[in-house]
Amino acid sequence: MPSEAFSSACGRLEVLGNHTDYNQGLVLAMGVRFTLEVLGKKRNDEQLILHAMDLGQKWEGSLASLSPHPRAGWANYVLGVLQGLKNRGIKLSGLELELSSHLPMGAGLSSSAALTVATQRCLQSLWGFTMPALEMAKISQEAEHRHAGVKCGLLDPMAILHAKKDYLVLIDFRSMEVQTIPFPKEAIFVVASSGEKHALVDGEYNERRESCEEAARLLGLTSLREIGLQDLFKRKGELPDLVYRRALHVVGETDRVQRAVTCLRKNDLTGFGRLLDESQESSRINFENSIPSLDNLCEASKKSPGHLGARLSGGGFGGSTLHLIEADRERSFLDAFLAEAQGRLGQPASHFVTRPA
């Protein structure tokens, strides 16, 4: 087995299916061209030395103490991965990791899941073990739960692990079945930053999850996947208004994913884009995980030539928006969109153009 190994993981974009993963719903996601890279070296002792190269930060610890540290920050994700492997009987020695991220931090591209997946891939190469993608995703999720305090679902690591160039990834979080859907060559995505850091550890994410769990409990369901839109409409009176609106967003998102897959298979980009706009409106009104800067970016998109659809991507409360546009109108869209966005935000909107990677 090698004493040194290199690995990487891409970032991910949630295309449609907002907050559905922990409700056993459906999600359409994709990989992006930016990556997080890990260079790992074995040690002959129990010491852990972790370097975040782009941050210029270093953290030192020991395999004997993998509990989350209040001041460890990003290093807690690595500690969480090591704890998850230890819990599964994987024996490791000390190691040194150099982490280099090309993902914009706080942009909602899931830098934390890229970190946990890339770390696992590096450790697998160093110690010569393999693990199914679902188990790797669970380790990433456990690291977020236990070491970062975010009760996230499996979307981010699953999307990263199954990302495929020119394909969207359809994940069913009830059956854990994964399919790839060809993405039409006539369209591309523009990802624009709101300029406000995406930070789920502030508690809003966990509150939304608790509302969804309350809705399922009050309706006598195991999860919100067990109810369709029409039945939810009929049972509105059984839920407090706020809880109903949270459930309406999640159930509606799984419905929108199903319709989106039909649109994609028919090459109906207009219909697909309309579903992205519907999703954003539901995030704004029902789930309240959009914020004014995200709303402004989506509204700026609608005023730009080539716009097909736009929505926030990821947990919300900051981060990025995703814009589906006609590929042959990229330049005219960007000229109009960036000017309109700057007028609304009061500052230039950083952005990049991508297809599924």
Per-residue tokens: 200:
């789920």
**Nearest CA to 257 among 275, 274, 278?**
275
The position carrying tokens 């450790």 is 123
Per-residue tokens: 121:
């891939």
Write a three-state SS string for the chain. Answer: CCCEEEEEEEEEEEEECCCCHHHCCEEEEEEEEEEEEEEEEECCCCEEEEEECCCCEEEEEECCECCCCCCCCCHHHHHHHHHHHHHCCCCCCCEEEEEEECCCCCCCCCHHHHHHHHHHHHHHHHHCCCCCHHHHHHHHHHHHHHHHCCCCCCHHHHHHHHCECCEEEEEECCCCCEEEEECCCCEEEEEEECCCCCCHHHCHHHHHHHHHHHHHHHCCCCCHHHCCHHHHHHCHHHCCHHHHHHHHHHHHHHHHHHHHHHHHHCCCHHHHHHHHHHHHHHHHHHHCCCCHHHHHHHHHHHCCCCEEEEEEECCCCCCEEEEEEEHHHHHHHHHHHHHHHHHHHCCCCCEEEECCC
Output phi, psi for 216, to 5 deg. Answer: -60, -40
Task: Give catalytic status of residue 166 as yes or no.
Answer: no
Whole-Å CA distances, 48 to 43, 63, 66, 252, 342: 8, 7, 10, 45, 45
Active-site pick, 156, 255, 277, 295: 156
Per-residue tokens: 237:
């009176």
153 within 8 A of 29, measured Cβ to Cβ: no
Q: Which residues are catalytic?
A: 156
